[in-house]
A and B are shown apart, each in its own frame.
Chain A
Amino acid sequence: MQRILGKEANRASKNIAAERLRLVLMHDRLDLTPQMMDSLRSDILKVIADYLEIDESGMEIALQRSNNSIALVANIPVVKMKRLPASAG
């Protein structure tokens, strides 16, 4: 019935609003202070250090925004792999 009345064409503007709201809030809240960025960076380093030896000076991390998503992009040069015990833990 609703489909016959052409509801389909302009269906559920609520869903559009909800998606736009999600994105706009994500952008608004993406106001990481330099201190938060530094602390994120050092935490990432800590985790990686257990597995890989990396070149810290060459490490780059940044938040990249596009129209409908935000990505944390990290470029971390690996110096060498660590040899992990065969059956860790």
Chain B
Amino acid sequence: MGEVLVVTSGKGGVGKTTTTANIGTALAMMGYRVVLLDADIGLRNLDVVMGLENRIVYDLVDVTNGRCRLKQALIRDRRFESLLLLPAAQTKDKTAVNPEQMKALCDELKQESDYVLVDCPAGIEQGFKNAVAGADKALVVTTPEVSAVRDADRIIGLLQADTEMHHPLLIINRFRPQMVRRGDMLDVDDVNEHLAIELLGIVPEDESVIVSTNRGEPAVLNVNSRAGEAYRNISRRLMGEEVPFMDIESNGTFMGRIRRLLGMRTG
């Protein structure tokens, strides 16, 4: 019996889909049976990020409406035998599914997998309620910006008030160490202090994520990607492994490295 993890954020554009794709792929690389479930009905994207968009026949709504069997809608990843995707419907809206149906679907999916990762839509309306309905654990993604942290705070409040997921885990995405050193970006402590939930990982801003999305190959598959490395670490922490936070500070510019070599304080 597997576990259902929902990846959520409140705010759009902070990297929920990228996070879902990368953690799911990393877990599959580690040999786990993983199902990626795109709960963003009407605005599906997980299929594109995974590079599986051409293989969709049936979708989530077809399954819940009984137009096909669950097995028919699941797309098997080309790279990993144990990685499956259940795409969202593109031509329906969020009301096409209700939380009870989502819960039943998650319960069925976790019978034959180790992890079900649910990519939650932005917002706090029905799409959010659907996505969290069947989840056992929540991963909250934010970026070091006032708006994203504020929305994450709201989401954490809702999870704690309306669900059993009282201890969500935090992922800080798009972290830019150089800007933090310059004093132009909230640092990890600023975010942690306010949200006060367990930090699962910090993902640096990384151009390789855009390249990997262009290609439909999650960044965890690229051994040279810093973001990919961060997501691999996050996945290992999810497994209960103690993985030290990567030294994002050391990924500075050439000048930054020189400055640190000279022992200059950079804030």
Q: Is the CB of A21 within 8 A of B190?
A: yes
- A21 / chain B contacts, CB cutoff of 8 Å: 146, 149-150, 186, 190, 194
Q: Is the CB of B186 within 8 A of A12?
A: no
- Give Cα A14 to B179, complex, Å: 9
Contacts A22-B194, A25-B194 given; does A11 touch B183 at CB 8 Å: yes
Say yes or no for A18: interface residue by CB 8 A criterion.
yes
8 Å CB contact of A18 from B154, B157, B190, B267: B190
Say yes or no for B3: interface residue by CB 8 A criterion.
no
- A11 / chain B contacts, CB cutoff of 8 Å: 183
- B187 / chain A contacts, CB cutoff of 8 Å: 14
Q: Is the interface of A mostly helix, strand, loop or mixed?
A: helix
Q: Is the CB of B194 within 8 A of A14?
A: no
- Give Cα A13 to B183, complex, Å: 6
Say yes or no for A78: interface residue by CB 8 A criterion.
no
8 Å CB contact of B153 from A12, A15, A29: A29
- Give Cα A12 to B190, complex, Å: 14
Q: Mark B70-81, 1 if CB is under 8 A from A, else 0.
A: 000000000000
- Give Cα A14 to B184, complex, Å: 5
8 Å CB contact of B185 from A14, A20, A25, A29: A14
Q: Is the CB of A17 within 8 A of B186?
A: yes
8 Å CB contact of A24 from B150, B183, B186: B150
Q: Is the CB of B183 within 8 A of A17?
A: no
Q: Is the CB of B186 within 8 A of A18?
A: yes
- B145 / chain A contacts, CB cutoff of 8 Å: 17
Contacts A13-B184, A14-B185 given; does A24 touch B154 at CB 8 Å: no
- Give Cα A9 to B153, complex, Å: 31
- Least CB separation from B264: chain A residue: A1
B10–chain A nearest beta-carbon distance, Å: 11
- Give Cα A29 to B145, complex, Å: 18
Q: A12-B267, A28-B153 are in contact. List 18 more A-B contacts (CB 8 A).
A: A11-B183, A12-B184, A13-B183, A14-B185, A14-B190, A15-B183, A17-B145, A17-B185, A18-B186, A18-B190, A21-B186, A21-B190, A21-B194, A24-B146, A25-B153, A28-B154, A29-B153, A29-B157
